[in-house]
Structure 1
Amino acid sequence: MAATCSHTPQCPTAASPDHEAAHTVSGHPEQGWSLLCNGVLLFEDTGELLPDGRVIAPRRLAAV
């Protein structure tokens, strides 16, 4: 999937460490996910699916 960012300045790419800072182009909170303009699918459990198919596991806090 190609990046769809047309913002000025451009949003971080999917490969950037701050890729979660990109603008949301399609939000579906009822389904638990959002599509960012850099092609990243961001899930409400903090998991991510990158445009190249890589998965970033949810970041969970340690139980205290």
Structure 2
Amino acid sequence: MCPHKPRCPDAEASDREAARSVRRDDRVGVVELCNGVLLWDDTGELLPSGRITPPRRPTGSAA
């Protein structure tokens, strides 16, 4: 449960990345958000349900 006021967006909401950061691991490049979402530096996500969203930011050059 989110303790923030106003509450952070749910992990399935389209604005889920607006949730507050609760932990960061710079070695791996991941942030845990209040709603349980793991957000990687390349913008990929792992939702609490186990669903993965691919990165939206380009990570390399087109070949």
Pick one of 30, 48, 52 that aligns with 1:51: 48
Q: What letter is aligned with 1:50?
A: L
Is 1:14–2:11 an aligned residue pair?
yes
Would you say how many aligned residue pairs link Structure 1 and Structure 2? Answer: 61
How far apart are residue 30 of structure 1 and its match?
A: 2.6
Please list every run of 5 or more consecutive structure 2 residues that lacks an aligned counterpart in the other structure. Answer: none
TM-score, L = length of structure 2: 0.86
How far apart are residue 60 of structure 1 and its match?
A: 3.0
Please list every run of 5 or more consecutive structure 1 residues that lacks an aligned counterpart in the other structure. Answer: none
Q: Could you list the runs of 4 or more consecutive aligned residues of structure 1 that deviate by over 4 angstroms after TM superposition? A: none
How far apart are residue 41 of structure 1 and its match?
A: 0.2
Pick one of 18, 23, 34 that aligns with 2:20: 23
Q: Deviations over 1:5-57 (max 9, x none)?
A: 10001000001100000000001123200100000000001100000000000
Aligned to 1:5: 2
SS at match of 2:17: helix
Q: Give the percent of matched residue pairs that are identical in Structure 1 and Structure 2.
A: 52
RMSD over aligned Cα atoms: 1.7
